[in-house]
Structure 1
């Protein structure tokens, strides 16, 4: 088992559910008119909630950009002369790895979806939630069932926007032939989709002055980058980050040169123009066959990717909006179990992972084992250390830095193990179905439990209430500079598996005194940019 499986699985855990059409037959054809033209959507029932009678007005597959020119910055979509049929999802973007995302796949993939509560009119001015999907900037699509926002819209009276953005080499090519400010077209896609939302959401009944951006994993990391170097004028008023992280080892420029050489473009006058002519199947096939040997970390361009999020916070260039962030109790535990490590931690995959970050597996486990309150099995100890190193402690530090600089910040912790997710842990991405209310009632892994259903309704309420009035927070005290007294909300803990407990953050953060230093040295976590190792 090699390190490539770790990166691939981290990407995959953030995009587990396959795409599917919205449930129920078309009950109506709602329409909305924006500057580009008339859009005809579909009214359908709430996913997996047969007792809910309200219908969501879903406008699917709306082009927010023209079909993009490969590797280049997106441009807004032109107007259309006839009504746009927006009753099914648009094509997903080309994927770095083969996974659970269902096609079709295309370079022409820059589509948005808008989920609107029933009986909404243009004058309603409802709160808007703008979702950025995860997948390590390598896989994922807005058409995944997990991101079906019908429950949030119908049950919680918010408008939700989801969208696709380019991934892998198509979104983060690192080409030296591109202007520095345009080397992350995938991030530029995100920004254009956000601007499209601000420009048009009033027509759907949304309030363009009340947009909350939220995302998970690489989507949460993308939210952090939007905060660190925000567009002007500021197009959002609050942010939610769920388990923010990217894990993209390697050198993007070297990888670009590798691909250029493979397709005979290294000696061309412009390797960019040369690779733009390569058949998309050949290009994506070569990259997929190379696994993590050809990963595409974002370029530090000073526009979409800053060199230091911490510096942006201290310089007050970080967007001054309320921030709500959190992690899961077993982010990496589920990954290690998926790798099949069992009780054996003396294996190449684990050793490689630690070594890549300049860490010695034996030494770090010996130092940290006494920090944990209960004796853990070896594989569980390693999983917990990695969970805290990459997720818990970086998010804790992130929140403290924001509090130190007078930002309103709150944290949560998610801990419910749900049978339908298929893990024995509250693993990476397992909270997303809960937040969207899109969990399957039954699948090959089991049936949704009453605790899961109740907790999902509560989490949807907390997330949407925050979007409606961010300055009120999620319902518990915001993070202060006093780590001893700080508290956060635990969803699905052992003592209240279907509800919420307000507990000290030290319940999760007790190992961070050691791990904060390790994270700084090893460049691990959301605050750190571009891990310094190559594979």
Structure 2
């Protein structure tokens, strides 16, 4: 099995598709980045032009900053590389597909499951060129799945939260994600992907997006399953910015962050009751979501990455554990419990791997995002990505056939990579013991 080096295609109608490795396809009409009069995304204009796509598209404009942290200092494979590969015309998708399936023609074609990937980055950063998030080896090894990575606007461009903007012009990054998913539904069959077997997968901010998507489109979900890895819980100013080049905006944001200026700049989603809702527990209990099967999980030491970086000693472990519970573990516990109460099938996991080539400092262990290289197949053949593929093929029965049962209050979750073991189990009661719903109860993490 191998991936082909290039492909030729048309946006709406496909001519002479010869091969596929990494395919970059626009999903929006022109550069929609920046603060224009109409900043919501629009479908790509139909055209029969042939596009030769041989690499990924640019990340949307963003600022990473230069302050030391785990990802920037010890594991730069978790950030976009090269860091300056950014551009305003960034609303596109990247498709990875096995060559042999693309060579099939006519009745011989087999329509394969599709996994659509949404990157994380606190809605501030992220893009298609993060080395630890490129699924080429995964797709090459299995030969039976497609992976589609979508691009969306981040920071001030995706979540401006400005008073002058109408509610339907907020949370633009979430609207970008929906448009890309609609593109996949309408076009993936041309690659031999199955539009009826699409699984939506996100990590961190991407996982938050997946969960919110679950509530925003209950009547038209497009997808058949959800995967959530480590889901962590003004007017004239926009008119002023409309004429400013995006590069100048990013330069300012970068300098602001590097100088340690306070208050820190954040660009958050707003509650518009369209893409983001005020009370998700009430929505879940009322059944106002898709009830699609889902995988939900987190890392044992997720919070360690969000505290001040000390290369030698690391952060205070009590503080790190408290942040793991409040920011990641307990919100995930609450989401799982809400889904269970609403009779939505959920598969729960905890990741505890400690690999020195991913986390080189002894205090880093299983930090936030550290499970991604194994799932994406960057480090050899591991069982974790086989689970995801089984789920994509059949979200209801795929995992139970491999011995991973759906969540029950007195059941067990899958524990991946902990203490050198590829796979073991952990009782749900133990996993949930530090939490009262979404709130930590003060008990120590039991690992």
TM-score range, shorter chain: 0.7 to 0.9
Aligned partner of 1:471 in structure 2 is 396
Aligned partner of 2:68 in structure 1 is none
Mapped pair 1:244 → 2:231: yes
Aligned partner of 2:60 in structure 1 is 93
Larger Rg: 1
Aligned partner of 1:260 in structure 2 is none
1:364-412 per-position Cα deviation (integer Å, ceiling 9, x unaligned): xxxxxxxxxxxxxxx2232122212221222112111111111111100
Contact in 2 for aligned 1:136/1:218 (Cα 8 Å)? yes
- The 5 A counterparts of 1:131-280 are 131-156=117-142, 157-230=144-217, 232-245=219-232, 253=234, 266=236, 271-280=237-246
1:459-506 per-position Cα deviation (integer Å, ceiling 9, x unaligned): 1100110110000152322112xx3x2210011122xx2421122123
1:328-350 per-position Cα deviation (integer Å, ceiling 9, x unaligned): 1111134447345838x7xxxxx
Distance (Å, rounded) in 2 between the aligned partners of 1:301 and 1:281: 29
Distance (Å, rounded) in 1 between the aligned partners of 2:16 and 2:427: 48
Contact in 1 for aligned 2:301/2:324 (Cα 8 Å)? yes
Shift of 1:421: 1.2
Distance (Å, rounded) in 1 between the aligned partners of 2:210 and 2:96: 20
Aligned partner of 1:432 in structure 2 is 372
Change (3 A) 1:339 1:190: farther
Bigger Cα displacement from structure 2, 32-41 vs 142-151: 32-41
1:312-336 per-position Cα deviation (integer Å, ceiling 9, x unaligned): 2112111121011001111113444
Aligned partner of 2:32 in structure 1 is 68
1:278-317 per-position Cα deviation (integer Å, ceiling 9, x unaligned): 1222222222222262211011111211112212211211
Change (3 A) 1:421 1:39: farther
Change (3 A) 1:314 1:458: same
Aligned partner of 2:12 in structure 1 is 35
Aligned residues: 405
Contact in 2 for aligned 1:334/1:426 (Cα 8 Å)? no
Distance (Å, rounded) in 2 between the aligned partners of 1:401 and 1:493: 27
Mapped pair 1:119 → 2:83: no
Using the size of structure 2 for normalisation, the TM-score is: 0.84
Change (3 A) 1:81 1:229: closer
Distance (Å, rounded) in 1 between the aligned partners of 2:248 and 2:255: 11
Change (3 A) 1:473 1:402: farther
Shift of 1:74: 0.7
Change (3 A) 1:279 1:27: closer
Aligned partner of 2:433 in structure 1 is 510
Change (3 A) 1:517 1:232: closer
Distance (Å, rounded) in 2 between the aligned partners of 1:414 and 1:272: 42
Aligned partner of 2:356 in structure 1 is 419
Shift of 1:518: 4.8
Distance (Å, rounded) in 1 between the aligned partners of 2:375 and 2:22: 21
Change (3 A) 1:167 1:334: closer
Aligned partner of 2:275 in structure 1 is 304
Shift of 1:88: 1.3
Aligned to 1:114, the other structure's residue is in SS state: strand
Distance (Å, rounded) in 2 between the aligned partners of 1:488 and 1:314: 23
Distance (Å, rounded) in 1 between the aligned partners of 2:174 and 2:59: 16
Contact in 2 for aligned 1:130/1:162 (Cα 8 Å)? yes
Distance (Å, rounded) in 2 between the aligned partners of 1:178 and 1:337: 35
Contact in 2 for aligned 1:40/1:87 (Cα 8 Å)? no
Distance (Å, rounded) in 1 between the aligned partners of 2:10 and 2:397: 33
Mapped pair 1:393 → 2:318: no
Aligned to 1:296, the other structure's residue is in SS state: coil
Q: 1:331 aligns with which of 299, 302, 305?
A: 302
Contact in 2 for aligned 1:328/1:428 (Cα 8 Å)? yes
Aligned partner of 2:418 in structure 1 is 493
Aligned partner of 2:445 in structure 1 is none
Distance (Å, rounded) in 1 between the aligned partners of 2:367 and 2:16: 39
Distance (Å, rounded) in 2 between the aligned partners of 1:293 and 1:131: 29
Shift of 1:433: 0.7
Aligned partner of 1:19 in structure 2 is none
Bigger Cα displacement from structure 2, 227-236 vs 142-151: 227-236
Aligned to 2:388, the other structure's residue is in SS state: helix
Structure 2 gaps of 5+ residues are: 66-71, 73-78, 258-262, 442-447
Distance (Å, rounded) in 1 between the aligned partners of 2:165 and 2:253: 20
Aligned to 1:289, the other structure's residue is in SS state: helix
Aligned to 1:189, the other structure's residue is in SS state: helix
Distance (Å, rounded) in 2 between the aligned partners of 1:334 and 1:39: 46
